């Protein structure tokens, strides 16, 4: 009994680290490690720095350009601007009206009109929102029923600094570099967790404001920060719901199968000990739970139960076969008989999960480690707790032949009869099943539509659907055009003078970058992208050129 006491004491003490279990739902959990495209993307992000923002889709019950709707947008924007993380608000009231009516550039610079600071005719504003490439299907839908309120957030420069330092040290070779990488990773996680709490509070405040000012309209919140925040909530709920629901189902099934309280409580007790031990291990080694590994508790429970069920069934078989044998001998025979086959079954399962470790996606690698370690712990705990508890319990009475005869139907016996008497039908059914499986496998597709990862009643799905259908799309794609360097013409010193040196210096400045040839290439790419049906809104330098023309 002291073995069991020590094990339980160790698991419960070590279980403290289960409280350190972290959840990461950032976009980095879905990216390949050392991916060349990811590196290129981060390099371009440094060069072309974009804003971090959230989008509120606004669909009023009245006309979009009515005084009532304008006031509601204005009040909503003013309330949002008071939040500490909010830098500025863009909406149909604040964007500059460049074509209402068209004016020379100098006049536009001196007097920039917006829908919020002027009384421009509604027809002119509507026409601009339909024709201006910057606003067309972007800030407002084509039917003028839905518009976007863009909540620009302050940049987290410290976060980006940690990312850059960590990426620079990912290929660390010296001990000093590895130590620095470890320190930066730890500091990064601390900052990320602190920032996550702040951003969660910010999103909660935004939703409260939306509820307060959205009584006469339909509002949805979208954006990367909101999705990451909600995903953390989803993962937490999944861990709780998957685990508790499965435990309840297992209790019902175990009772229906065995009809004995010990065969319900013992498997559940062993499974819970196993889950605590695995969760503590993950917390101790700082392995983070992601969307991919959020069902690890369910997997752990199922595999642990399967181990214990093999032991229970064999124990009952020995009790029925040798009713006069002592409880100690039956338990020992059960452990010895099932030790080797269970070990090999677990080893093959671990091998299967270990294959995930060759992936380049970090959450999948972690899932392989999680399940491999978890299954090994399940085997160890089951083979310690099961015999130890049974030794303290009275021996079960074997069922009499009269009790066994009460069973009207046995699935295993029916299957055995089919194998013995009707072998031809087995081959026919197997062939049909194989053909059906192959035809079905050939029709499998990979679903990479982010919106379809969520249920239709979630805020993420509702917001993304509106943005996809009415406001230009939710998944941005950056197309980078790199122009070849023009080789300078070699000249001798005699052919150059001060004037030419000055001219060459001026010609290499940024103002001469925008040549007609380069602009024509950008226009070609821009116009082509607009013809692709899967692409919503396209923004580039060509958009500004079109406005100028």
* Longest CA–CA separation in the chain, Å: 117
Question: What span, in angstroms and rounded, lies between the C-alpha atoms of 19 and 24?
Answer: 15
Q: Does domain 2-26+235-406 have CATH number 1.10.540.10?
A: no
The candidate with the shortest Cα–Cα distance to 191, out of 209, 211, 215, 166, is 166
Both structure tokens of 308: 């214990």
Residue-wise DSSP of 412-469: HHHHHHHHHH-HHHHHHHHHHHHHHHHHHHHT------GGGGS-TTSHHHHHHHHHHH
The candidate with the shortest Cα–Cα distance to 278, out of 308, 257, 301, 261, is 301
Question: What span, in angstroms and rounded, lies between the C-alpha atoms of 478 and 505?
Answer: 32
Judge contact between 69 and 62, C-beta under 8 A: yes
Q: What is the pLDDT of residue 324?
A: 85
Q: What is the pLDDT of residue 107?
A: 65
Low-confidence ranges of the chain (pLDDT < 50): 402, 405, 488-489, 491, 495-496, 498-499, 502-503, 507-508
Both structure tokens of 197: 């709490």
Q: What is the pLDDT of residue 499?
A: 47
The candidate with the shortest Cα–Cα distance to 50, out of 483, 522, 478, 514, is 478
Q: What is the pLDDT of residue 503?
A: 47
Domain ranges of the chain: 2-26+235-406, 50-227, 479-548
Judge contact between 67 and 115, C-beta under 8 A: no
Question: What span, in angstroms and rounded, lies between the C-alpha atoms of 387 and 332?
Answer: 8
Question: What span, in angstroms and rounded, lies between the C-alpha atoms of 255 and 491?
Answer: 93
The one-character DSSP state at 52 is E
pTM for the structure as a whole = 0.73
Would you tell me how many other CB atoms lie within 10 Å of the CB of residue 286? 13
The candidate with the shortest Cα–Cα distance to 378, out of 273, 471, 478, is 273
3-state secondary structure 336-362: HHHHHHHHHHHHHHHHHHHHHHHCCEH
Phi-psi category of 150—alpha, beta or left, where left has phi over 0 and alpha has psi -120 to 50? beta
């Amino acid at each position: 009994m002291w073995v069991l006491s020590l094990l339980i004491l160790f698991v419960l003490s070590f279980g403290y680290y289960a409280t350190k279990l972290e959840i990461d739902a950032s976009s980095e959990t879905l990216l390949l490690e050392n991916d060349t495209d990811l590196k290129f993307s981060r390099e371009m992000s440094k060069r072309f720095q974009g804003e971090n923002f959230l989008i509120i889709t606004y669909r009023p019950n009245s006309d979009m350009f009515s005084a009532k709707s304008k006031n509601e947008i204005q009040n909503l924007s003013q309330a949002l601007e008071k939040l500490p993380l909010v830098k500025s608000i863009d909406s149909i009231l604040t964007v500059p009206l460049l074509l209402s009516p068209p004016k020379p550039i100098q006049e536009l610079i001196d007097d920039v009109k917006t829908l919020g600071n002027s009384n421009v005719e509604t027809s002119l504003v509507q026409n601009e929102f339909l024709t201006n490439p910057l606003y067309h299907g972007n800030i407002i839908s084509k039917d003028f029923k839905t518009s976007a309120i863009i909540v620009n957030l302050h940049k987290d420069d410290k976060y980006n600094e940690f990312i850059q330092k960590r990426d620079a040290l990912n290929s660390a070779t010296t001990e000093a570099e590895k130590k620095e990488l470890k320190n930066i990773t730890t500091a990064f996680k601390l900052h990320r967790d602190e920032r996550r709490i702040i951003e969660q509070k910010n999103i909660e405040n935004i939703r409260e404001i939306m509820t307060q000012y959205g009584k006469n309209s339909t509002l949805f919140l979208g954006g990367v920060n909101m999705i990451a925040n909600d995903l953390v909530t989803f993962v937490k709920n999944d861990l709780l719901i998957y685990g508790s629901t499965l435990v309840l189902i297992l209790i019902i099934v175990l009772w229906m199968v065995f009809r004995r309280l010990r065969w319900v409580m013992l498997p559940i007790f062993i499974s819970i000990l196993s889950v605590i031990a695995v969760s503590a291990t993950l917390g101790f080694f700082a392995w983070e739970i992601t969307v991919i590994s959020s069902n690890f508790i369910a997997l752990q429970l199922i595999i642990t139960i399967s181990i214990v069920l093999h032991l229970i069934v064999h124990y009952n078989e020995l009790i029925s076969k040798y009713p006069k044998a002592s409880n100690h001998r039956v338990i020992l025979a059960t452990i010895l008989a099932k030790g080797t086959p269970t070990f090999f079954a677990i080893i093959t399962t671990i091998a299967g999960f270990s294959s995930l470790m060759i992936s380049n996606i970090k959450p999948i690698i972690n899932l392989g480690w999680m399940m491999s370690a978890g299954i090994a712990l399940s085997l160890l705990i089951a083979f310690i707790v099961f015999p130890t508890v049974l030794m303290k319990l009275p021996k079960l009475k074997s069922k009499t032949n009269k009790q066994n005869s009460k069973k009207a139907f046995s699935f295993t016996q029916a299957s055995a009869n089919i194998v013995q008497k009707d072998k031809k039908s087995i081959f026919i059914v197997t062939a049909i099943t194989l053909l059906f499986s192959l035809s079905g496998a050939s029709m499998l597709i990979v679903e990479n539509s982010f919106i379809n990862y969520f249920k239709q009643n979630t805020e993420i799905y509702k917001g993304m659907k509106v943005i996809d259908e009415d406001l230009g799309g939710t998944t941005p794609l950056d197309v980078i055009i790199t122009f070849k360097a023009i080789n300078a013409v070699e000249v001798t010193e005699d052919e150059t003078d001060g004037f030419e040196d000055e001219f060459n210096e001026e010609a290499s400045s940024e103002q001469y970058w925008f040549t007609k040839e380069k602009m024509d290439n950008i226009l070609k790419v821009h116009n082509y992208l607009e013809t692709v049906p899967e692409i919503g809104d396209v923004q580039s330098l060509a958009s500004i050129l079109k406005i100028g023309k």
